[in-house]
Amino acid sequence: MKIKSKGITIVIPIYNEEEGIARLLPAFEDYINSSKFEVTILLVNDGSTDNSLNEIKKAAAYNEHVGFISFEKNAGLSAAIRAGFEKSATKWVGYIDADLQTDPMDFLRLEAMIPNYDLVTGRRTGRKDSAVKKMSSTFANWFRDSMLHDGVHDSGCPLKIVRRSVALDMPFFKGMHRFFPALTLIQGKKVIEIPVKHFPRVTGKSKFNVWNRFLSPLQDTLALRWMMKRQSTYTISENSIKSYKAAIHE
């Protein structure tokens, strides 16, 4: 599949979601028909051990706007998102989880903000997660904002649109998907958070555990705080390289 350069690519990481893949494309029909962009869906198989890859291949075979990439083995959510962004050819890229606990139609709300922002991220309202998951997420978000001051209430919301060049300039590390707002602000770019709907999980199993949603993010937050404290910037006042501006201009 050839990804069109004009439009937006929505990256959907998939790990053992065979039951829900058949729901994905019908759920995107209204958004694709309503979007002002040419929408490409890029499914990223993160080394699934069930029948997800076969279901992904079926979806791509019967839909011209759907493509896929597949990992040899499980590499994690951040790696799947990053690989999808790298393989995209559009100026804008989006991300949503395969469990459809967020609504693809809310991408329209995010689209409306991108003329003035480099990252538009959702904030889940009325979350339909377990009490433990909500409590750990609330604490993690409070701790992250206290350390990083990114001004975002729900950094891990799985509904985002970001300028691809900005996303690819972010340092890549396991767990980076939780820090998109801070990693955007470090670049001097603009971020906004807007409310989006949230729904209960219908198929598949949550990948939540204490380590990947609580302890590990706290360690990552401290590491990113150190990075921000050590950040150094410079401004070039003059240069003799004729192609300099052209080389850095998007």
pLDDT, tens digit, for every residue of 167-182?
999 989 888 888 899 8
Structural domains of the chain, ranges and CATH numbers in brackets:
8-248 (3.90.550.10)
* pTM reported for the whole predicted model: 0.79
Do 121 and 24 form a contact (C-beta atoms < 8 A)?
A: no
CB neighbour burial string for 158-180, b if at least 16 within 10 angstroms, e if fewer: bbbbbbbebbeebeeeebbbbbb
How far is C-alpha 35 from the geometric centre of its chain's CA atoms? Answer: 18
| Distance between CA atoms of residues 95 and 91, nearest Å | 14
Contact 125, 194 (CB under 8 A): no
Cα distance between residue 48 and residue 129, in whole Å? 23
Instruction: Please give the Cα distance from 105 to 180 (Å, whole number).
Output: 21
Which tokens belong to 207?
């990948």
Distance CA 72, CA 222 (A): 31
- Which of 6-10, 88-92, 213-217 has the least mean pLDDT? 213-217
Residue 166 CA to its chain's centroid (Å): 12
Q: HSE (CB half, 13 Å, CA atoms) of 44?
A: 26
Average pLDDT over residues 135-156: 70
Weakest mean pLDDT among 44-58, 163-177, 212-226: 212-226
